[in-house]
């Protein structure tokens, strides 16, 4: 029987990582790569959609990374979609299968799937937000009978920045998923919708008493997405988002991610709008 990583770490420092092996690296775009990670000695990540892990390299640094794979598809490993954006991620992008990195976690408050059951699910996802959203979307699709309608709206800046394109095609082909995609700036070959993600929302029929909306993406988009959802009549408690503001240690000790009385790494990163609506500009 496998042992959850969190349980294994209880006997050591909360800051001590477990060395995990990279088993596959898949380029996703010019900025992102998808890493399949395997823990040692029968350890299992035992995560839920919306959680993250701390990824480290000795002598380089550590950073929180959202888990991209759903628990229903773990198969003894998990996936991280990592954007090359700094010193640590720059070195991570040089690693190959067989290399090792440090893992702590999983941390954070996941999305409350038990509250989502029997509801229509409306996902509104921007850019790299598809990495954590993918874990939740695939978890819902793998237990499709537990939910009502599943609607996925996804936007990227350009067609070349769309992630998980094979899965996007699969979602598009399913008759039990309403999938719509847009880009901010089209290229010569793009034939789909052009415009920011909120341009897709007005055409979506929403049954306000039976819909859970989940939005994940760059913080700048949240204000506009939430305004659109509220205008459709959704309740604050039925709008969920992932807020990953300046997370660092993952265990609520360093204070980097504190917003008033909230710690994103512990109280979040999954929040309902009702929980954070009064945080104001601090978001």
Task: Provide the residue ranges of all domains of the chain, joining segments of one domain with +.
Answer: 3-107, 113-242
24-30 mean pLDDT: 95
**Can you give the length of the chain in residues?**
283
**Burial (0-12, 13-18, 19+ Cβ within 10 Å), 248:** middle
Only one residue has tokens 């049954």, namely 207
Residue 172 pLDDT greater than 50, yes or no: yes
- Name the nearest CA neighbour of 214 among 283, 282, 135: 135
Mean pLDDT of the chain: 92
Which secondary-structure segment (H or E) carries 264?
none
Strand-pair partners of 259: 262
Residue 281 pLDDT greater than 70, yes or no: no
pLDDT category at 244 given cuts 50, 70, 90 is: confident
- Name the nearest CA neighbour of 244 among 214, 266, 228, 260: 266
What is the model's pTM? 0.93
Predicted pLDDT at 261: 86
Domain 113-242 indexed as CATH 3.40.50.970: no
Which of the four CATH numbers 3.40.50.300, 2.40.30.10, 3.40.718.10, 3.30.1310.10 does domain 3-107 have? 2.40.30.10
Full DSSP string of 183-205:
ESS--TT--SEES-GGGGSTTS-
Predicted pLDDT at 282: 46
Residue 55 pLDDT greater than 80, yes or no: yes
């Amino acid at each position: 029987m496998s042992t959850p990583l969190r349980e294994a770490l209880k006997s050591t420092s909360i800051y001590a990582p477990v060395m995990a092996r990279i088993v596959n690296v898949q380029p996703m775009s010019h900025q992102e790569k998808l890493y399949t990670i395997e823990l040692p000695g029968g350890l299992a990540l035992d995560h839920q959609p919306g959680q993250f892990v701390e990824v480290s390299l000795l002598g380089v640094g550590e950073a929180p990374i959202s888990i991209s794979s759903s628990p229903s598809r773990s198969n003894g490993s998990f996936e991280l979609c990592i954007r090359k954006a700094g010193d640590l991620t720059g070195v991570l992008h040089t690693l190959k299968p067989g290399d090792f990195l440090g893992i702590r976690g999983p941390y954070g408050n996941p999305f409350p799937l038990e509250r989502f059951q029997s509801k229509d699910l409306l996902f509104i996802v921007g850019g790299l937000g598809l990495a954590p959203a993918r874990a939740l979307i695939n978890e819902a699709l793998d237990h499709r009978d537990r939910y009502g309608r599943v609607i996925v709206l996804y936007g990227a800046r350009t067609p070349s920045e769309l992630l998980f394109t094979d899965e996007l095609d699969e979602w598009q082909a399913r008759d039990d998923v309403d999938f719509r995609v847009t880009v901010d700036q089209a290229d010569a070959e793009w034939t789909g919708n052009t415009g920011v993600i909120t341009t897709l929302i007005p055409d979506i029929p929403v049954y306000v008493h039976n819909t859970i909306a989940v939005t994940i993406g760059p913080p700048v988009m949240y204000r506009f997405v939430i305004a659109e959802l509220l205008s459709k009549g959704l309740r604050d408690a039925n709008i969920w988002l992932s807020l990953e503001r300046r997370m660092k240690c993952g265990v609520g000790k360093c204070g980097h991610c504190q917003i008033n009385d909230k710690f994103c790494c512990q109280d979040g990163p999954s929040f309902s709008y009702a929980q954070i609506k009064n945080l104001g500009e601090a978001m």
